[in-house]
């Protein structure tokens, strides 16, 4: 086992893990912004329906159903982005775990290299 080669390989893997983590976090950020935009679009469209008197119903449930039937595209857009955001967050968590694991492997290899070379930990 050549510890130097293992360390070099792990450093390369750590660089890849860092890039993957940055991409995953960027995706989460972008989807969070998209979700806020979609929610704002839905709120504006809902307010417009009320202003124009297009919301029907004498109780809350009926009014919600009226809004849902008229704004199904906007509601679906929010739901799709929410699903994508959940997926992106899961991928970001996976990328963070991979980064941490790779970093821990590097630390362990460095410790082994020090021990093999006779350098004390202190």
| pLDDT by residue, tens only, the chain of 122 residues | 699 999 999 999 999 999 999 999 999 999 999 999 999 999 999 999 999 999 999 999 999 999 999 999 999 999 999 999 999 999 999 999 999 999 999 999 999 999 988 865 55
How many other C-beta atoms are found inside a 10 Å radius of the C-beta of residue 96? 15
pLDDT number for residue 72 = 97
3-class SS of residue 85:
helix
CA-to-CA distance for 59 and 114, rounded, in angstroms? Answer: 73
pLDDT number for residue 107 = 96
Structure letter (DSSP) for residue 118: T
* Number of residues that make up the chain: 122
Taking a C-beta distance cutoff of 8 angstroms, is the pair 65, 57 a contact?
Answer: yes
Cα angle, residue 78 at apex, residues 50 and 54 outer, rounded to 5°: 15
Predicted TM-score (pTM) of the model is 0.83
pLDDT number for residue 1 = 61
- The dihedral over CA atoms of 31, 22, 97, 14, expressed in degrees to the nearest 10, equals 160
Taking a C-beta distance cutoff of 8 angstroms, is the pair 82, 11 a contact?
Answer: no
CA-to-CA distance for 41 and 74, rounded, in angstroms? Answer: 7
Compute the 3-state secondary structure of the chain and give helix, strand, coil in percent, each to the nearest 5.
Answer: 85, 0, 15
Rounded to the nearest angstrom, the gap between the alpha carbon of residue 76 and the centroid of all alpha carbons in its chain is 20
């Amino acid at each position: 086992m050549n510890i130097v080669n293992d360390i070099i390989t792990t450093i390369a893997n750590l660089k890849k893990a860092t890039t993957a983590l940055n991409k995953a976090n960027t995706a989460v950020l972008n989807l969070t912004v998209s979700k806020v935009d979609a929610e704002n679009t839905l709120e504006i469209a809902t307010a417009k329906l009320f202003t124009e008197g297009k919301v029907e119903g004498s109780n809350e449930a009926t009014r919600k159903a009226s809004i849902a039937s008229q704004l199904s595209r906007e509601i679906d857009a929010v739901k799709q982005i929410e699903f994508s955001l959940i997926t992106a967050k899961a991928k970001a968590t996976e990328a963070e775990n991979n980064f941490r694991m790779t970093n821990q492997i590097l630390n362990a290899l460095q410790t082994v290299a020090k021990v093999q070379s006779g350098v004390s930990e202190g």
